[in-house]
Chain A
Amino acid sequence: MTKFDQDWAAREDAKRQWMTEHSLFREEDEHSSCGVGLVVSIDGSKSRKVVENGITALKAIWHRGAVDADGKTGDGAGIHVQIPHHFFGDQIRRTGHEARDGELLAVGQVFLPRTDFGAQETCRTIVESEVLRMGYYIYGWRHVPVNTECLGEKANATRPEIEQILISNTKGVDEETFERELYVIRRRIEKAAQAAGVSSLYICSLSCRSIIYKGMMLAEQVAVFYPDLMDERFESAFAIYHQRYSTNTFPQWWLAQPFRMLAHNGEINTINGNTNWMKSHEIRMASTTFGDMAEDIKPIIPQGASDSAALDAVFEVLVRAGRSAPMAKTMLVPEAWSKNAEELPQAWRDMYSYVNSVMEPWDGPAALAMTDGRWVCAGLDRNGLRPMRYVVTGDGLVIAGSEVGMVPTDEATVVEKGALGPGQLLAIDMAEGKLYHDVEIKDRLANARPFGDWVGKINDLEDELSGITETAYYTGAELKKRQIAAGYTIEELEQILAPMAEDGKEALASMGDDTPSAVLSTKYRPLSHFFRQNFSQVTNPPIDSLREFRVMSLKTRFGNLKNVLDEDSSQTEILVLDSPFVGNAQFDALKDHFNAPMTEIDCTFPVDGGPNALRDGLDRIRAEAEEAVRSGGGHIILTDQGQDEKNVAMPMILATSAVHSWLTRKGLRTFCSLGVRSAECIDPHYFAVLIGCGATIVNAYLAEDSLSDRIERGLLDCTLSEAVLRYRAAVDAGLLKIMAKMGISVISSYRGGLNFEAVGLSRALCAEFFPGMHSRISGIGIGGIQKKLLAVHKQGWLGGNTLPIGGFYKARKSGETHAWEAQSMHMLQSACDRASYEMWKQYSAKMQSNPPIHLRDLLDFKPLGKPVPIEEVESITSIRKRFVTPGMSLGALSPEAHRTLSIAMNRIGAKSDSGEGGESPDDFTPEPNGDNASAKIKQVASGRFGVTVEYLLACEELEIKVAQGAKPGEGGQLPGMKVTDLIAKLRHSTKGVTLISPPPHHDIYSIEDLAQLIYDLKQVNPRCKVTVKLVASSGVGTIAAGVAKAKADIILISGHNGGTGASPATSIKFAGLPWEMGLTEAHQVLAMNNLRERVTLRTDGGLRTGRDIVMAAMLGAEEYGIGTAALIAMGCIMVRQCQSNTCPVGVCTQDEALRAKFTGNADKVVNLITFYAQEVRELLASLGARSLDEVIGRADLLTQVSRGAAHLDDLDLNPLLISVDGADKIVYDRSKPRNAVPDTLDAQIVSDAARFLNDGEKMQLSYAVQNTHRTIGTRTSSHIVSKFGMRNALQPDHLTVKLTGSAGQSLGAFAAPGLKIEVSGDANDYVGKGLSGGTVVVRPPMHSPLVASENTIIGNTVLYGATDGYLFAAGRAGERFAVRNSGATAVIEGCGSNGCEYMTGGLAVILGSIGANFGAGMTGGMAYLYDPDGLALDLINMETLVTCPVTVDHWETQLRGLVERHAAETGSVKAKDILLHWDEQKGYFLQICPKEMLIHLPVPLAIERGAMPAE
Chain B
Amino acid sequence: MAKEPMLKFVTVGRDMPSKRDAEDRKDDFLEIYGEYVEAKAEEQASRCSQCGVPYCQSHCPLHNNIPDWLRLTATGRLKEAYELSQATNTFPEICGRICPQDRLCEGNCVIEQSGHGTVTIGSVEKYITDTAWENGWVEMIAPTVEREESVGIIGSGPGGLAAADRLRRAGLKVTVYERSDRAGGLMMYGIPGFKLEKDIVLRRVKQLEDSGVEFVLNCNVGEDISFDAIRGKHDAVLIATGVYKSRDLKGPGSGSAGIVRALDYLTASNKVSFGDEVEDYLSGELNAADKKVVVIGGGDTAMDCVRTAIRQGATSVKCLYRRDRANMPGSQRETQNAEEEGVEFVWLSAPKGFAGDPVSGVMVQKMRLGQPDASGRQSPEVIEGADYVEDADLVIKALGFEPEDLPTLWGVEGLDVTRWGTVMADFKSHVTSLPGVYACGDIQRGASLVVWAIRDGREAADAMIEYIDQSVSVAAE
User: With A and B bound together, what is the CA distance between A805 and B77 in angstroms?
Assistant: 16
Asked if B114 and A1136 sit within 8 Å, CB to CB, the answer is: no
Is A1501 close to B, CB under 8 A? no
User: How many residues on chain B are close to A (CB under 8 Å)?
Assistant: 33
Asked if B58 and A810 sit within 8 Å, CB to CB, the answer is: no
Is B407 close to A, CB under 8 A? no
User: With A and B bound together, what is the CA distance between A808 and B51 in angstroms?
Assistant: 13
Proximity bits, A1136-1170, B CB within 8 Å = 1, else 0: 11001010111000010110010000000000000
Query: Which chain A residue shows the least CB distance to B10?
Result: A1142
Our pick among A802, A1154, A1157 for the contact of B83 (Cβ within 8 Å) is A802
Hey, which chain B residues are within 8 Å of A1140, CB to CB? 4, 7
Top 4 A-B residue pairs of the complex, sorted by shortest distance between their CB atoms: A1136-B52, A822-B58, A813-B63, A1144-B114
User: With A and B bound together, what is the CA distance between A1154 and B116 in angstroms?
Assistant: 9
Asked if B111 and A1144 sit within 8 Å, CB to CB, the answer is: yes
Asked if A814 and B63 sit within 8 Å, CB to CB, the answer is: yes
Is B46 close to A, CB under 8 A? no
Asked if A813 and B58 sit within 8 Å, CB to CB, the answer is: yes
> 12 A–B contact pairs at CB < 8 A?
A499-B2, A502-B2, A503-B1, A715-B77, A805-B68, A813-B58, A813-B65, A822-B55, A1133-B51, A1133-B114, A1135-B52, A1145-B114
Is A259 close to B, CB under 8 A? no
**When A1144-B114, A1153-B10, A1154-B10 are in contact, do A811 and B2 touch as well, CB less than 8 Å?**
no
Hey, which chain B residues are within 8 Å of A1133, CB to CB? 51, 53, 55, 110, 113-114
Hey, which chain A residues are within 8 Å of B113, CB to CB? 1133
Hey, which chain B residues are within 8 Å of A813, CB to CB? 57-58, 63, 65
Closest Cβ of chain A to B77, distance in Å, is 7
Proximity bits, A1377-1419, B CB within 8 Å = 1, else 0: 0000000000000000000000000000000000000000000
Asked if A818 and B68 sit within 8 Å, CB to CB, the answer is: no
Asked if B7 and A811 sit within 8 Å, CB to CB, the answer is: no
Asked if B116 and A1144 sit within 8 Å, CB to CB, the answer is: yes
Is A337 close to B, CB under 8 A? no
Asked if B108 and A810 sit within 8 Å, CB to CB, the answer is: no
Asked if A810 and B51 sit within 8 Å, CB to CB, the answer is: yes
Proximity bits, B45-59, A CB within 8 Å = 1, else 0: 000011111110111
Other A-B contacts than A715-B75, A1134-B53, A1135-B53, 14 sampled, CB-CB below 8 A, are: A490-B84, A494-B68, A503-B2, A505-B1, A813-B58, A814-B63, A1133-B51, A1135-B52, A1135-B110, A1136-B51, A1137-B50, A1144-B110, A1154-B10, A1157-B114
Is B87 close to A, CB under 8 A? yes
Is B115 close to A, CB under 8 A? yes
Hey, which chain B residues are within 8 Å of A1135, CB to CB? 49-53, 110
Query: Which chain A residue shows the least CB distance to B67?
Result: A810
Is B9 close to A, CB under 8 A? yes
Hey, which chain A residues are within 8 Å of B49, CB to CB? 1135, 1137, 1142, 1144
Proximity bits, B200-219, A CB within 8 Å = 1, else 0: 00000000000000000000
Closest Cβ of chain A to B179, distance in Å, is 34
Our pick among B51, B59, B71, B116 for the contact of A1134 (Cβ within 8 Å) is B51
Asked if A812 and B65 sit within 8 Å, CB to CB, the answer is: yes
Proximity bits, B436-454, A CB within 8 Å = 1, else 0: 0000000000000000000
User: With A and B bound together, what is the CA distance between A713 and B68 in angstroms?
Assistant: 17
User: With A and B bound together, what is the CA distance between A1146 and B10 in angstroms?
Assistant: 12
Closest Cβ of chain A to B11, distance in Å, is 10
Query: Which chain A residue shows the least CB distance to B80?
Result: A713
**When A1133-B113, A1137-B49, A1144-B110 are in contact, do A811 and B77 touch as well, CB less than 8 Å?**
no
- Using a CB–CB cutoff of 8 Å, the interface residues on chain A facing chain B are 490, 494, 499, 502-503, 505, 511, 713, 715, 802, 805, 810-814, 818, 820-823, 825, 1131, 1133-1137, 1140, 1142, 1144-1146, 1151, 1153-1154, 1157
Asked if B57 and A810 sit within 8 Å, CB to CB, the answer is: no
Asked if A490 and B68 sit within 8 Å, CB to CB, the answer is: yes
Hey, which chain B residues are within 8 Å of A1136, CB to CB? 51-53
Query: Which chain B residue shows the least CB distance to A807?
Result: B65
User: With A and B bound together, what is the CA distance between A715 and B2 in angstroms?
Assistant: 12
**In B16-50, which residues have CB < 8 Å from any A CB?**
49-50
Hey, which chain A residues are within 8 Å of B111, CB to CB? 1144
User: With A and B bound together, what is the CA distance between A823 and B71 in angstroms?
Assistant: 24
**When A810-B50, A1135-B49, A1137-B50 are in contact, do A821 and B58 touch as well, CB less than 8 Å?**
yes
Asked if B114 and A811 sit within 8 Å, CB to CB, the answer is: no
User: With A and B bound together, what is the CA distance between A821 and B55 in angstroms?
Assistant: 8
Hey, which chain A residues are within 8 Å of B63, CB to CB? 813-814
Hey, which chain A residues are within 8 Å of B108, CB to CB? 822
Hey, which chain A residues are within 8 Å of B52, CB to CB? 511, 810-811, 1134-1137
User: With A and B bound together, what is the CA distance between A824 and B75 in angstroms?
Assistant: 32
Q: Most chain-A Cβ atoms within 10 A of its Cβ — which of B77, B87, B114?
A: B114
User: With A and B bound together, what is the CA distance between A1134 and B108 in angstroms?
Assistant: 14
Hey, which chain B residues are within 8 Å of A505, CB to CB? 1
User: With A and B bound together, what is the CA distance between A511 and B57 in angstroms?
Assistant: 20
User: With A and B bound together, what is the CA distance between A1145 and B10 in angstroms?
Assistant: 11
Asked if A822 and B7 sit within 8 Å, CB to CB, the answer is: no
Hey, which chain A residues are within 8 Å of B75, CB to CB? 715
Hey, which chain B residues are within 8 Å of A1146, CB to CB? 114
User: With A and B bound together, what is the CA distance between A813 and B9 in angstroms?
Assistant: 24
Closest Cβ of chain A to B411, distance in Å, is 40
Our pick among A715, A818, A1144 for the contact of B53 (Cβ within 8 Å) is A818
Query: Which chain B residue shows the least CB distance to A1131?
Result: B114
Query: Which chain B residue shows the least CB distance to A818?
Result: B53
Our pick among B2, B4, B57 for the contact of A812 (Cβ within 8 Å) is B57
Asked if A825 and B53 sit within 8 Å, CB to CB, the answer is: yes
Hey, which chain B residues are within 8 Å of A1131, CB to CB? 114
Closest Cβ of chain B to A1450, distance in Å, is 36
Closest Cβ of chain B to A1064, distance in Å, is 12
Query: Which chain B residue shows the least CB distance to A499?
Result: B2
Closest Cβ of chain A to B63, distance in Å, is 4
Our pick among B7, B53, B65 for the contact of A1142 (Cβ within 8 Å) is B7
Q: Most chain-A Cβ atoms within 10 A of its Cβ — which of B54, B75, B77, B84?
A: B54
Query: Which chain B residue shows the least CB distance to A505?
Result: B1
Hey, which chain A residues are within 8 Å of B110, CB to CB? 1133, 1135, 1144-1145
Closest Cβ of chain A to B205, distance in Å, is 24
Hey, which chain A residues are within 8 Å of B115, CB to CB? 1157
Hey, which chain A residues are within 8 Å of B54, CB to CB? 810-812, 822
Query: Which chain A residue shows the least CB distance to B60?
Result: A813
Hey, which chain B residues are within 8 Å of A822, CB to CB? 53-55, 58-59, 108
Closest Cβ of chain B to A725, distance in Å, is 16
Closest Cβ of chain B to A630, distance in Å, is 47
User: With A and B bound together, what is the CA distance between A494 and B1 in angstroms?
Assistant: 15
Hey, which chain B residues are within 8 Å of A811, CB to CB? 52-54
Query: Which chain B residue shows the least CB distance to A510?
Result: B52
Hey, which chain B residues are within 8 Å of A823, CB to CB? 58
